[in-house]
Structure 1
Amino acid sequence: MVTSQRTKDICRKVRLKSTQVFIVAGTCLITVMITLLCIGFMTRYEVENEVANVADVEYWKDKVAASQKIWYDKGIEELNEALRMPAGPIYPRNLRIFVVQGIDGRHLASHRFPSRERSQENTNFVWDRYPHLARLKNSCSQRSPCPVGSVSQAFWSGLPLEKSLEMETECRQMDNQTDTLLSVLRQAQLAGLRTGFVTTQRLTGATGAALYGNSPYECDERMPLGFLQSGCQDVARQLISGETGKSLNVIIGGGRQMLSRLVPQTKYDPVDELLCQAGEGRNLLKEWRNQKLRQSKIKPIRFDLIQRTDELESLNASRYDHLMGVMANGDLSGNPKAPSLNLMVDKSLEVLERKSQGYLLIVEQVIQKKMNTRRQLQILNETLNGLRKDMDTLTLVLFTNGVYSQPSLDVSEETETISYLSEIFNEQEIRVQERLQQMPSESLVFAQGPRSTLFVGVQNETFLAHAIAHVLSRSKLVSKL
């Protein structure tokens, strides 16, 4: 009797658990059926209403004309590529910044599409595929003439143009300042990143001066005697003796005649009489080498100083901690045997890339009026195409017109031109084009990589330095991971 009652109790428990199992299973089945029905209804709705994902279908419901098909194919391919773009890290480990002086939006527009005579020479610019773009206001549109050096300070130190002009009053005052400006280059060094600067101009130009100098004088020859006696330093001296200059892992460009009094002269590389020349007895190249020799006695480092293209080509740059290349007496454009932009960038990256450290590389390409602008843009395009695709690297391409126009002080030239449209359109077409070319234009920043989303909209010139500083503050942490 006891056994029979126990058996009944067990059966009740099993029946109760079986009922619970059936209830749970039934609930899951109903949920799956409802989900499938919803998916079916949504899919039918998307197809009927032409809102399907372009990554899943070739075209929308309506068929396009045969003449459109080739362009729709290309467009859908570009959209799919954008949708497949990987997220990558939140903040970059490395930064590569390419600065193109003498080019702005007008020039890019004119060279993006081929002319009738050059229908086979169209170039698909790499930077046009970068996902983000910002415009930087041209603060020089209200100044005549425009101080290019102060614009560089705005870009690289985040100091507004008017404040930078106040600081240029006297070298004596600048030398005695306790709050020395920190450029993005110095901030990167303090964050523990390796740093490099490459330019097709001279190393003491406006960009170099803003990155590691604090003087309106490129070399000692043109500095007033009183400033020299008071201990002021020109840009060339600051490159060798300043903390930022001494800490650079890579420095490649022109300007040998600013660094040394005695320089070799050839028909390919003459001394530029229009530029500053070092004073008697100056040899900063020798000082740089001696400085590194002293450093190597404290902490072993490998370094090299090169002055010819063949030396750079044969260099196993990955073995070196510091590399200085002075490749012309003046600007590199004055030396037809100077190294290519691509070669200088490749060797610089070999020096900078380390598993244990991130890096900041700033590359300046100066395009002068006498140059073939289209060819210079193609050179930049080829260089960017050759870069290794790094998910942890933020790449910026800044186009800015280094030769600023001189509009009136009370009204921008663009506004003034619009006010006289009736007169302008009575002029010859070539004169109209000249007027349009002379309008002051904003700088453009194309961005790709982690945190490229910062570079959107219309910003002040100082925004570039502030955005880079923010990224550098986080890149320090990323480099340690």
Structure 2
Amino acid sequence: MVTTQRTKELCQTVRLKSTQVFIVAGTCLVTLLVSLVCIGLMTRYEVQNEVANVADVDYWKDKVAPSQKIWYDSGIEELNEALRSPSGPIYPKNVRIFLVQGVDGRDLAAYRFFAKDFSHGNTNFVWDQFPHLARLKNSCTQQIPCEVARVSRAFWAGIPLERVHRFQPDCGHLANATDNVLSVLRQAQLVGLRTGFVTTQRITGATAAALGNTNSNYECDERMPLGSSKSGCQDIARQLISGETGRSFNVIIGGGRQMLNSVVPKTRSDPVDELLCESSDGRNLLKEWRSHKLRESKISPIKFELIQRTDELESLNASNFDFLLGVMANGDLSGNAKAPSLKLMVERSLQVLKKQDQGYLLIVEQFIQSDMDKRKQLQLLNETLADLHTDQDTLTLVLITNAIYPQPILDVSEETETISHLPETFNEAEYQLQQRLHQMPSESLLFARGPKSSIFHGVRKESFLAHAVSHVLSKSRANP
């Protein structure tokens, strides 16, 4: 009986331990199966959405010649980058737009190579590495005449070129209009973003006029018709300094002092540009800007600075300021031998704009005139972009366009001019004809990198730029 009882106890103990072993083994098996399933899903995701490493990018290695395989292997890194999924936020907090006026796709293709020396191979620009590209149509081919001011408003207000209103001589009623078109920059200001505009041209040029929501074709008072002045019209310079949009700019840097002040310093390095407008009404809009900021600072503490020389910009601790106005030349910056570099202006602008609790919109215009060294100018832009910090929460756009106009505000494009003089054009020598065709405005190229850069693809109208930027910034505010 004693033996039987011990046998029963031993069997129960063995059975209990067997059950525990079964439970542990089952748990391990389930864990292994779940891990295998997860690994399988992750592998499938990587195959469909990104390349984890170089080995994942395959080709017919055994089917190509050794000399060909060398180049296939070197191209794997570029292909790997193209297939890699973007990381970071879905929508950007900030947007930086670099507008290059005066070059096109043909120039970009030519200037990637070193002049008369191909031993260095093909040198890509920074924007060549951007993952997305769109083409913006040139609607000027359908407009006679094609006014540069209206083209700028199509870009920055999002209205098709054919719907942009021509300004009338009697524009006084527009000053208090409630249905004025808002530029994408003004929209950014209204939702609490910091804004900046930097140009190598004048801050009263066509781009600034469109961004600043001005309603004039005249950069200063000198060339305004008498009837326009009497009806209450204001020139672009005065509207930028006294208007809500212009006063709300956190950063404005460029040329155009002779439009803002009637008396300006004239030096050998910075002469007055006699081809441009010169104010003659005794104004001092720079002093007015400073006075307004002083009054504003008494209501709400702000720090601001007005600078007019390169050394002032170099020594400026820009991150300490809320507002910065830099007028660095009487005319365009190209007319001032001592004007600051594009890189310096962009660096100081970003120091002003970057605040921890606010996003920003910065628009930089590089105006490349026909007599400039285009290769050198593109290299300056390339260096500027290369030295910028690549923020994961920032959308960066580079817009390349060759829409150069011979006169400041009102003129016809080269293409429209050619079409309207076809008989004379085809009687020209072949070299002259090729040169004229090369100068025609072509479709603009828009390179994009950063959150939501994928929406910039295909062939779009000029107005698409403003629509897209407005969209991503509004979503950024809704999804911080």
Q: Which TM-score band applies after superposition, normalised by the shorter structure?
A: 0.7 to 0.9
1:100 is aligned to 100
Instruction: Flag the 1:7–1:153 CA change in 2: closer, same or farther, 3 A.
Output: same
1:420 is aligned to none
- 1:259 touches 1:283 (CA, 8 Å); kept in 2? yes
2:247 is aligned to 246
RMSD (Å), alpha carbons: 3.7
- 2:203 touches 2:253 (CA, 8 Å); kept in 1? yes
Counterpart of 1:257, as a letter, is: Q
- 2:217 touches 2:235 (CA, 8 Å); kept in 1? yes
1:406 is aligned to 415
1:397 aligns with 2:406: no
Counterpart of 2:72, as a letter, is: Y
Deviation for aligned residue 1:280? 2.4
Aligned counterparts of 2:282 and 2:211: Cα–Cα separation in 1 = 26
1:183 is aligned to 183
Aligned counterparts of 1:78 and 1:473: Cα–Cα separation in 2 = 33
Aligned counterparts of 2:125 and 2:176: Cα–Cα separation in 1 = 46
1:369 aligns with 2:370: yes
Instruction: Flag the 1:280–1:412 CA change in 2: closer, same or farther, 3 A.
Output: closer
Q: Which runs of 5+ in 2 are unaligned?
A: 405-412
SS in 2 for 1:406: helix
Instruction: Flag the 1:383–1:34 CA change in 2: closer, same or farther, 3 A.
Output: closer
**CA offsets 1:187-241 (integer angstroms, 9 cap, x no match):** 1111111111000000000000000022111111111222222221111011111
Deviation for aligned residue 1:174? 3.5
Deviation for aligned residue 1:427? 10
- 1:98 touches 1:396 (CA, 8 Å); kept in 2? yes
SS in 2 for 1:165: coil
TM-score, with length taken from structure 2: 0.85
Deviation for aligned residue 1:181? 1.3
Residues 80-229 of structure 1 mapped to structure 2, 5 A cutoff: 80-84=80-84, 86-117=86-117, 119-120=119-120, 123-168=123-168, 170-175=170-175, 177-212=177-212, 213-229=214-230
Aligned counterparts of 2:120 and 2:30: Cα–Cα separation in 1 = 63
Deviation for aligned residue 1:55? 4.0
Deviation for aligned residue 1:64? 4.4
Deviation for aligned residue 1:114? 3.9
Instruction: Flag the 1:412–1:77 CA change in 2: closer, same or farther, 3 A.
Output: farther
Deviation for aligned residue 1:110? 2.1
Instruction: Flag the 1:372–1:295 CA change in 2: closer, same or farther, 3 A.
Output: same
- 1:199 touches 1:363 (CA, 8 Å); kept in 2? yes
Per mean C-alpha deviation after superposition, the further-off stretch among 442-451 and 230-239 is 230-239
2:292 is aligned to 291
Instruction: Flag the 1:16–1:374 CA change in 2: closer, same or farther, 3 A.
Output: same
- 2:401 touches 2:441 (CA, 8 Å); kept in 1? no
1:355 is aligned to 356
2:235 is aligned to 234
Aligned counterparts of 1:173 and 1:32: Cα–Cα separation in 2 = 72
TM-score, with length taken from structure 1: 0.85
Instruction: Flag the 1:57–1:226 CA change in 2: closer, same or farther, 3 A.
Output: closer
Counterpart of 1:376, as a letter, is: Q
**CA offsets 1:412-459 (integer angstroms, 9 cap, x no match):** 99xx99xxxxx99x9987456435414441011100000101101011
2:266 is aligned to 265
Aligned counterparts of 1:156 and 1:298: Cα–Cα separation in 2 = 32
Aligned counterparts of 2:176 and 2:195: Cα–Cα separation in 1 = 27
SS in 2 for 1:282: coil
Aligned counterparts of 1:58 and 1:34: Cα–Cα separation in 2 = 24
- How many residue pairs match? The answer is 459
Counterpart of 2:96, as a letter, is: R
Instruction: Flag the 1:254–1:35 CA change in 2: closer, same or farther, 3 A.
Output: closer
Instruction: Flag the 1:146–1:32 CA change in 2: closer, same or farther, 3 A.
Output: closer
Deviation for aligned residue 1:246? 0.4
1:383 is aligned to 384
Per mean C-alpha deviation after superposition, the further-off stretch among 13-22 and 186-195 is 13-22
Aligned counterparts of 2:396 and 2:28: Cα–Cα separation in 1 = 55
